[in-house]
Amino acid sequence: MSKKMLKASVAGLILSVSGFANAGLITEIGDTGDSIHTAQSLSANTTQISGSISNNSDVDLFGFYWDGGLLDINVSYDNSNLDSQVFLFDGLGFGLYHNDDAPFPNSAISTTVSAGEYFVGVSSFSNDPVSVDGTIFPTFYTGQMAPTGPGGGSVLSGWEYDGVSNGAYIVNISSVSSYPQSVPEPSTLAIFTLAIAGLVSRKFKN
């Protein structure tokens, strides 16, 4: 290998290693919101989030795009007094999974989901998400829970704000994707036209 080639490959290796490190860790910016409209978006290739439940009522939501397949999320809090809970919502705000204490003392979710937008939420036990119909998840803490609470059929509208701890946390997450480019105008127009055509034909049938 020539000296020039060696230099180039060393430079390339340094670039790729630093690029990998930069892409992985994302830090909470200020205090991210507790609704899907105020959530911080994760950039592509994020594998770790460093954040803080800054007071007992704080909830942190992060939005991301997922290519589909097995999604692993694990919240840990080695150096703080936080007792975390983790939640997964779909792109519309419907609850998918919740875990408080497993594997203890972490809060983890592992699920295979289709491609699309999702939101991961962190709160302090027992600050649970609610919809207009009540709590979205059951209040068990023995593992990963489906949204079988009274409010599980409706989208996230708020939280109970009754947490009992606070502190820093780390979320380890399967490498997320970049958000797809915005939907081109013609497709939007086509969907709109189809919807109108559907409405008109229904009216005619009636």
Q: Supply the minimum distance, in Å, between the C-beta of residue 33 and Ca ion.
A: 6
125 binds Ca ion (CB under 5 A): yes
DSSP 29-71: -SS--SSTTTPEEPPTT--EEEEEE-STT-EEEEEEEE-SEEE
Indicate the residue among 35 and 177 with the shorter CB distance to Ca ion: 35
Q: What x-and-dash track marks residues 161-190 binding Ca ion by CB under 5 A? A: ------------------------------
Amino acid in the structure at residue 123:
S
Strand order from edge to edge, sheet including 129-131:
134-135, 129-131, 158-159
Amino acid in the structure at residue 192:
F
**Size of the residue set binding Ca ion (CB under 5 A):** 8
Strands 40-41 and 59-66: parallel
128 binds Ca ion (CB under 5 A): no
Under 8 Å between Cβ of 51 and 166: no
Indicate the residue among 54 and 154 with the shorter CB distance to Ca ion: 54
Q: Supply the minimum distance, in Å, between the C-beta of residue 32 and Ca ion.
A: 5
Nearest residue to 51 via CA among 37, 62, 35? 62
Report the length, in residues, of the chain.
Answer: 206
Q: Supply the minimum distance, in Å, between the C-beta of residue 191 and Ca ion.
A: 34
Binding to Ca ion, residues 42-101 (CB under 5 A): 54, 58, 60, 83, 100-101
Q: Supply the minimum distance, in Å, between the C-beta of residue 199 and Ca ion.
A: 40
Indicate the residue among 100 and 128 with the shorter CB distance to Ca ion: 100
What is the contact surface with Ca ion in residues (CB under 5 A)? 31, 54, 58, 60, 83, 100-101, 125
